[in-house]
Structure 1
Amino acid sequence: MSKPILDVIKLNKDFKVRSKKALFAKPKPVRVLSDISFELLEGETLSIVGESGCGKTTLGRCIVRGMNASSGEVIYHTEGGESVDFLKLKGKESKRLRRDVQMIFQDPYSSLSPRMSVFDIISEPLIANFKLNKSEVEEKVAAIAEKTGLNISYLKRYPHAFSGGQRQRIAIARALITQPRLIVCDEAVSALDVSIQAQIINLLKDLQEQFQITYIFISHDLSIVQNISDRVAVMHLGKIVELATVDSLFGQPKHPYTEALMSAVPQPDPDQKKDRIILVGEVPNPANPPSGCHFHPRCAYKTDKCMQEAPQLRLVGDNQYAACHYAEQLNLRGAANEPAAVE
């Protein structure tokens, strides 16, 4: 059994928002991440899904210290067996461990500096984290470029000369150059064409096998998530409402929100009809969340208990967790289509 590489414990993130009606009033804190807790195993791919605004990207950025969490812990387990709270590290300690945790961003056009050559983009993290001579840097950059499908002749060019798929390969090479153990992929393929998405997903899988990398894969595309994931965490309004293996989640979801997401997965057979679950109402405002279960205003199974008492994330099946009072009683529908092989 794989050992844990990361433990996220009661992670919270607040943003201060000023009311439009009272410009001179004190900004009010709005909680966008609420008590996020999960364990990440070494070598696995944990996908985080949910509709826009649920806090997926904020969670990823808080884990890699792209933004500071308001409270909580991110316990990182080093190769030497040491456990450290990544959020409390400063100075040299932070720099030493930061090389182990990298991030691939959503937009391959804005995440690469147009003023730097491909060689400079890929080598920058290497130069910042290691003391290497010029020939060693050139050797490592050439090797990682080959691993990610980049021609060596591309290294002297600039990002504007490449397509979206090639730019994302450059971003992947930049993330891999420090030999990280964990990579957070923030919508890493959502800005690409479907055929290019398949190539990048296959590349990420191959690199995971070669380098024993652990992924946190943030996405809203459930078809891709179904192909790449070992486990899936479903987020709604800053909370994890379901956490399960990919087979359990897609086969038998335990939360009504997950069921609604599953119904939106497109069918590969155009002649096969599928009953969509249309969620009535607006997404709740994080600044003024509803009482009880935050999903109850749009839930078809709600009761008075749902409107009054907030459910906790709890074990409801074989390695399957859900934040629903009636997770064991409801017979929810999973995705009807089998995961399609990525060519």
Structure 2
Amino acid sequence: MTKPILEVLNLNKSFQVKSKKALFKKPKPIHILNEISFELLEGETLSIVGESGCGKTTLGRCIVRGVDASSGDVVYHAEDGKEVNYLNLKGKEIKAYRKDIQMIFQDPYSSLSPRMSVFDIIAEPLIANFKLSRAEVEEKVMEIAEKTGLNVSYLKRYPHAFSGGQRQRIAIARALITQPRLIVCDEAVSALDVSIQAQIINLLKDLQEQFKITYIFISHDLSIVQNISDRVAVMHLGRIVELATTESLFSHPQHPYTEALMSAVPQPNPDFKKERIILEGEVPNPANPPSGCHFHPRCSYKTDKCIQQVPELREVGYNHFAACHYAEQLQLRGVPIETEDEVQSRTS
């Protein structure tokens, strides 16, 4: 059985926002993440999807300590067998594990320093985390450059001389140089052309197989997610509303929000007719979220129970979790969710 590499437990993040109209009042907290919990298995790709503003990027940044979480735990299972709460580490303690958890940022234009050469950009994490000679640093940088498809003759150039796809390869090389076990990819291909997206996705897959890397892949593009993921977590207004294997989620969505997201995915077949689900109403304000299920103002299946009670994320099928009071009864798309026996017979 595959071991977990990371456990996120009841993770919360809120920001204090002071209103200009109430300068002398206590700032009101805006909850961006609410009780996020999931387990990440070693070697898998877990995708986080959802609308803009649902908290995907904040979740990724909390995991890598780019921002500090308000509460909760991120338990990292180190290669030596130790279990450490990554959020509680400080100083030299966090430095010992930071090399294991890296991040690829969304914008390849702003995430690279224009004042540093490509060589210095890739070498910086290596110099910060290891005591190596200049010759050893040069050897490792050239090795990683070749593995990520960068011509070693480009290492003396600066980021402005490269296209978006080449810059993202530089960012991947920078994340890979410390030989991490986990990489958080925050919309790593959204700023690229479609043809370049395919190249970067294939590169990430090859590197994962070669270096046994675990990915958290944050995206809003479900067609890419379907291609790269082992499991998918769907977020809505700071909460995970559905979590399942990729095949189970795309064939048997169990939350109305997931069903609406699936209906927006374009199909390459012009003869295929698909009914688009248009969500009515406004996206809820995280500063003043609705009662009960946060999705109920835009849900066509809502009842009084949805308005009054917050649904728990529970197992509604084999390894399929959904935060909906009526997940089993809805049978979205007219297809009941698979049982354990059906899944095993299909995968055997």
Per the TM superposition, whether the score is higher than 0.5 is yes
Moved over 6 A (4+): none
5 Å-filtered alignment, 1:1-343, equals 1-333=1-333
Residues in 2 aligned to 1:212 and 1:8: alpha-carbon distance in whole angstroms: 21
Residues in 1 aligned to 2:286 and 2:334: alpha-carbon distance in whole angstroms: 28
Residues in 1 aligned to 2:177 and 2:24: alpha-carbon distance in whole angstroms: 47
Structure 1 contact 249–334 (Cα < 8 Å) conserved: no
Which ranges of structure 2 fall in alignment gaps of 5 or more residues? 336-348
Residues in 1 aligned to 2:254 and 2:235: alpha-carbon distance in whole angstroms: 13
Give CA-to-partner distance per residue, 1:294-315, whole Å, 9 cap, x none.
Answer: 0000001001100011100000
Residues in 2 aligned to 1:138 and 1:32: alpha-carbon distance in whole angstroms: 42
Structure 1 contact 253–334 (Cα < 8 Å) conserved: no
How many Å apart are 1:21 and its aligned residue?
2.5
How many Å apart are 1:26 and its aligned residue?
1.7
Match of residue 346 from structure 2: none
The letter of the residue matching 2:273 is K
Structure 1 contact 251–334 (Cα < 8 Å) conserved: no
For the residue of structure 1 that corresponds to 2:155, the secondary structure is: helix
Match of residue 341 from structure 1: none
The letter of the residue matching 2:314 is R
Match of residue 341 from structure 2: none
How many Å apart are 1:273 and its aligned residue?
2.1
Residues in 2 aligned to 1:7 and 1:157: alpha-carbon distance in whole angstroms: 40
How many Å apart are 1:333 and its aligned residue?
2.5
For the residue of structure 1 that corresponds to 2:141, the secondary structure is: helix
Residues in 1 aligned to 2:304 and 2:57: alpha-carbon distance in whole angstroms: 33
For the residue of structure 2 that corresponds to 1:333, the secondary structure is: helix
The letter of the residue matching 1:52 is S
**TM-score normalized with structure 1 length:** 0.97
Choose 170-179 or 326-335, whichever is displaced more. Answer: 326-335
Residues in 1 aligned to 2:71 and 2:293: alpha-carbon distance in whole angstroms: 22
Residues in 2 aligned to 1:159 and 1:187: alpha-carbon distance in whole angstroms: 19
Structure 1 contact 8–73 (Cα < 8 Å) conserved: yes
For the residue of structure 2 that corresponds to 1:156, the secondary structure is: coil
How many Å apart are 1:30 and its aligned residue?
1.2
How many Å apart are 1:20 and its aligned residue?
3.6
RMSD across aligned positions (CA): 1.0
How many Å apart are 1:226 and its aligned residue?
0.2
How many Å apart are 1:144 and its aligned residue?
0.2
Residues in 2 aligned to 1:41 and 1:205: alpha-carbon distance in whole angstroms: 16
Residues in 1 aligned to 2:24 and 2:226: alpha-carbon distance in whole angstroms: 48
Residues in 1 aligned to 2:266 and 2:334: alpha-carbon distance in whole angstroms: 13
The letter of the residue matching 2:332 is L
Residues in 1 aligned to 2:40 and 2:114: alpha-carbon distance in whole angstroms: 35
Give CA-to-partner distance per residue, 1:61-92, whole Å, 9 cap, x none.
Answer: 00000000000000000011100000000011
How many Å apart are 1:272 and its aligned residue?
2.0
Which ranges of structure 1 fall in alignment gaps of 5 or more residues? 336-343
How many Å apart are 1:334 and its aligned residue?
9.2
Structure 2 CA distance for partners of 1:220 and 1:80, relative to 1, 3 Å: same
